[in-house]
């Protein structure tokens, strides 16, 4: 139903109208007596000149409740589209939170029963928005739980069974990674000694020599199953390995030798082409930033110097290294605007056709090619889905960038890859995207910005929009980044304001031109411009990193606190009216619980090393009973505790039989002999 408005109202087609008054808005139905949620409070009246179809009058208690519940009423398809990924994600989180695997038959039957209950109660519950919303959310959560379990069990990843044994391995190199200055090989396994059904992939350190991706190799490799989390609640390598088909990790004890393989010819050809393209870029671009240039075009980050990568992360610019929504949006968006401008410049074509349609088609094709060229990592796949949904909206002549399109992209990803709900990239990408959409909707609704006319006004408007976007995106992702990475880039906003205009307007467009001209050997000028822009970005990152206090540690919190914060965040960006205030309250409650959470006082590693605040007469500090063993686990624990320090030996006395010390009034003894 199309709603006509006079003042302060945005018409819509779903039976709702967002009425903007003072500082807030409220969702209204036609001919329904409701109250405007504004500075005056619940008893305020709507003036007749504000909205054409409303009769002024006080709102009853039932209408107030409908006003609140109208923001989550799933009887309307628009609201269902927004809340569907929330329910699916809740079901996925519930599955991953279980200590044991539930029977698949039981969970499948529960999901089917929930869906059938919704279908059977359609007529009976559709007139009751509260009941209908509860049933729909429960059914979607059950479906998400069942889909997550099915996806998890269908992986069938095979782990090597023996740890620390050397295996004769044959396969082809899929990718080369750079880990702390050492090369790490991702090998697609063709055969593995002692295993009739080998794992799909293994990862190991090796000196590859002149060999590169796409080439068949054989070597002796010491392998072990993927590790468990180093500390409780920490990053789980085995979880990530299960969904990526990685069956073992280790190191090669013999040089890699080239062999001829006949399997996976197309995949090997693509991997070899990507590697050759990356090598070509590293040779022709400026040496200082050639590794970053190759990473932005091909997704190969093996050539990025570790000091540059760390400087970008500390400055809050680490997001430019992994091809994600930002890169895909700039690449596809650039193609879209160029093709649209070209079509609009031809009057005969523009009068007869909509230039946006061919522009969207070209941009979708370009995004697909960029996905293939960049290696189709998980983050790039998520970005491709988001951009594809937006471009399909243009083709269908719908509003391209909206909360519905963001929710649809999240729904597709959660159906295809439900484990993404736990990935920092997924959480931060959709947090930033949804916050930006909500913020700009609010900006447009209040009509606080006027059209810019002069060059200076346009520049200031662009800079203001960029500043506002950086602030909103940084604020939306800060809590998720602190939770997962235990550190906060204090000056990230300043670094992004200084670097992102160059990155968006110089680096990525030049990279797209270099990619287009590379087959003709004419990519040199574009790579030169791209290198200049990247040098500017790296200089900014190094400058910001040198500021005092540029990196602040952050203690981890239980996952329940992050879930509470995420729920409040969803209410803030996806709901409307007073429900948004409830979201703010929930987020503040999550922050309060986070700040009041106390990290553990002691940690015992798998090797039996004890890390605690041992008392030495002058106070208590973190000390370890053995600084040679379990160094990685103790460093991870201290990072999660928000204290990235090197443990000492103060307060601990040791002899050949073991060590002992006092911590928190307790005597802790570690026996080396087991007696």
297 inside domain: no
Residue 195 DSSP label: B
Q: Give the total number of structural domains in the chain.
A: 6
Do 121 and 174 lie in one domain? The reply is: no
| Domain endpoint, select from 18, 36, 62 | 62
CA–CA distance, 419 with 148 (Å, rounded to integer): 7
Of 510 and 662, the structure prediction assigns the larger pLDDT to: 510
Do 331 and 193 lie in one domain? The reply is: no
Do 140 and 18 lie in one domain? The reply is: no
277 inside domain: no
Do 545 and 564 lie in one domain? The reply is: no
**pLDDT surpassing 60 at residue 61:** no
Tell me which long-range contacts 540-544 makes (C-beta under 8 A, separation of at least 24): 540/315, 540/317, 540/495, 540/498, 540/499, 541/308, 541/311, 541/312, 541/314, 541/315, 541/317, 541/495, 541/499, 542/311, 542/315, 544/314, 544/315, 544/316, 544/491, 544/494, 544/495, 544/498
Q: Apex CA 593: angle with CA 592 and CA 598, to 5°?
A: 115
Do 431 and 455 lie in one domain? The reply is: yes
Q: What is the pLDDT of residue 625?
A: 82
pLDDT in tens, 100-138: 888 888 888 888 887 787 777 666 655 666 677 778 888
285 inside domain: no
Percent of the chain with pLDDT over 90: 27
Do 104 and 8 lie in one domain? The reply is: no
284 inside domain: no
Q: What is the pLDDT of residue 10?
A: 41
Do 448 and 419 lie in one domain? The reply is: yes
Instruction: Report, as an integer, the average pLDDT of 276-281.
Output: 90
527 inside domain: yes
Q: 214 φ, ψ to 5°?
A: 95, -15
pLDDT in tens, 311-343: 999 998 888 887 777 788 888 888 888 889 888
302 inside domain: no
Q: What is the pLDDT of residue 373?
A: 84
CA–CA distance, 51 with 14 (Å, rounded to integer): 17
Do 483 and 545 lie in one domain? The reply is: yes
524 inside domain: yes
Q: 600 φ, ψ to 5°?
A: -60, 150
Do 624 and 577 lie in one domain? The reply is: no
Tokens representing 486?
Answer: 């235990």
| Domain endpoint, select from 553, 583, 611 | 553
Instruction: Report, as an integer, the average pLDDT of 294-311.
Output: 88
Q: How far is CA 94 from CA 90, 97, 106, 497, 594, in A?
A: 6, 5, 15, 39, 21
CA–CA distance, 386 with 674 (Å, rounded to integer): 57
Continuous segment of H or E residues that includes residue 70: none
Q: What is the pLDDT of residue 418?
A: 94
CA–CA distance, 575 with 5 (Å, rounded to integer): 22
Do 430 and 538 lie in one domain? The reply is: yes
Q: What is the pLDDT of residue 58?
A: 43
Tell me which long-range contacts 3-6 makes (C-beta under 8 A, separation of at least 24): 3/30, 3/53, 4/52, 4/53, 5/51, 5/52, 6/49, 6/50, 6/51, 6/52
| Domain endpoint, select from 263, 295, 321 | 263
What residue numbers bound the domain in which 248 lies? 165-263
* Residues forming beta bridges with residue 603, ordered by sequence position: 611
Do 378 and 471 lie in one domain? The reply is: yes
CATH number of residue 175's parent domain: 2.40.50
Rounded-to-5 percentages of helix, strand, coil across the chain:
55, 15, 30
CA–CA distance, 92 with 77 (Å, rounded to integer): 22
The least confident of 13-27, 137-151, 172-186 is 13-27
E strand map for 7-49: 9-10, 17-21, 24-28
**pLDDT surpassing 50 at residue 40:** no
Beta carbons of 59 and 42 less than 8 angstroms apart: yes
Q: What is the pLDDT of residue 21?
A: 37
Do 10 and 93 lie in one domain? The reply is: no
pLDDT in tens, 289-298: 999 999 998 8
301 inside domain: no
Q: What is the pLDDT of residue 374?
A: 82
Instruction: Report, as an integer, the average pLDDT of 643-668.
Output: 79
Which strands form 620-624's sheet, in the order they lie side by side?
602-604, 610-615, 620-624
**Beta carbons within 10 angstroms of residue 309's beta carbon:** 18
**Beta carbons within 10 angstroms of residue 567's beta carbon:** 16
What's the 3-state SS for 598-656?
CCCCEEECCCCCEEEEEECCCCEEEEECCCCCCHHHHHHHHHHCCCCCCCECCCEEEEC
């Amino acid at each position: 139903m199309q709603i006509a408005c006079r003042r302060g109202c945005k018409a819509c087609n779903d039976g709702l109208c967002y009425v903007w008054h003072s500082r807030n808005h409220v969702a209204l139905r036609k001919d329904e007596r409701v109250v405007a949620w504004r500075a005056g409070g619940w008893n305020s009246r709507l003036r007749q000149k504000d909205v054409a179809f409303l009769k002024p009058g006080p709102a009853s208690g039932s209408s107030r409740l409908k006003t609140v519940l109208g923001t989550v009423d799933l009887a309307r398809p628009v609201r269902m589209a927004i809340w569907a990924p929330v329910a699916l994600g809740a079901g996925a989180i519930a599955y991953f939170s279980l200590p044991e695997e539930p029977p698949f038959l039981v969970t499948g039957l529960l999901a089917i029963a929930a869906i059938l209950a919704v279908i059977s109660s359609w007529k009976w519950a559709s007139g009751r928005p509260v009941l209908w919303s509860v049933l729909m959310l429960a059914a979607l959560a059950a479906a998400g739980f069942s889909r997550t379990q099915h996806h998890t069990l269908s992986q069938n990843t095979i782990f090597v069974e023996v740890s620390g044994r050397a295996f004769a391995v044959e396969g082809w190199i899929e990718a080369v990674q750079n880990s702390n200055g050492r090369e790490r090989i991702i090998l697609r396994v063709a055969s593995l000694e002692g295993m009739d059904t080998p794992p799909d992939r293994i990862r190991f350190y090796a000196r590859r020599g002149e060999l590169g991706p796409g080439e068949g190799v054989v070597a002796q490799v010491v392998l072990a199953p993927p590790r468990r989390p180093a500390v409780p609640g920490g990053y789980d390598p085995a979880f990530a390995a299960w969904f990526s088909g990685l069956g073992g990790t280790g190191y090669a004890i013999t040089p890699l030798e080239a062999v001829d393989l006949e399997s996976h010819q197309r995949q090997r050809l693509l991997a070899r082409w990507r590697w050759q393209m990356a090598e070509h870029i590293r040779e022709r671009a400026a040496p200082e930033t050639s590794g970053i240039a190759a990473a932005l075009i091909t997704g190969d980050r093996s050539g990025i110097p570790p000091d540059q990568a760390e400087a970008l992360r500390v400055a809050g610019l680490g997001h430019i290294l992994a091809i994600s929504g930002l890169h895909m949006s700039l690449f596809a968006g650039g193609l879209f605007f160029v093709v649209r401008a070209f079509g609009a410049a031809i009057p005969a074509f523009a009068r007869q056709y909509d230039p946006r349609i061919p522009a969207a088609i070209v941009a979708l094709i370009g995004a697909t090619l960029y996905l293939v060229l960049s290696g189709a990592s998980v983050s790039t796949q998520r970005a491709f889905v988001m951009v594809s949904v937006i471009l399909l909206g243009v083709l269908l002549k719908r509003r391209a960038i909206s909360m519905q399109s963001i929710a649809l992209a999240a729904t597709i990803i959660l159906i295809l890859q439900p484990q993404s709900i736990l990935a920092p990239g997924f959480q931060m990408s959709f947090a930033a995207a949804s916050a930006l959409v909500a913020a700009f909707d609010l900006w447009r609704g209040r009509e606080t910005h006027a059209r810019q006319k002069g060059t200076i006004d346009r520049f200031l408007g662009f800079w203001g929009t960029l500043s506002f976007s950086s602030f909103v995106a940084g604020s939306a992702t800060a809590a998720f980044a602190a939770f997962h990475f235990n550190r906060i880039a204090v000056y990230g906003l300043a670094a992004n304001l200084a670097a992102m205009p160059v990155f968006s307007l110089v680096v990525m467009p030049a990279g797209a031109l270099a990619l287009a001209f590379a087959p003709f050997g004419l990519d040199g000028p574009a790579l030169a411009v791209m290198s200049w822009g990247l040098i500017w970005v790296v200089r900014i990152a190094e400058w910001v990193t040198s500021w005092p206090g540029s990196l602040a540690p952050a203690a981890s919190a239980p996952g329940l606190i992050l879930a509470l914060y995420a729920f409040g965040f969803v209410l803030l960006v996806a709901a409307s009216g007073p429900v948004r205030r409830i979201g703010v309250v929930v987020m503040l409650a999550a922050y309060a619980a986070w700040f009041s959470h106390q990290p553990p006082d002691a940690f015992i590693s798998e090797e039996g090393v004890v890390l605690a605040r041992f008392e030495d007469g002058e106070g208590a500090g973190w000390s370890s009973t053995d600084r040679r063993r379990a160094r990685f686990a103790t460093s991870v624990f201290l990072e999660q505790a928000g204290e990235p320090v090197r443990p000492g030996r103060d307060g601990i006395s040791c002899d050949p039989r073991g060590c002992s010390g006092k911590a928190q009034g307790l005597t802790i003894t570690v026996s080396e002999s087991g007696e």
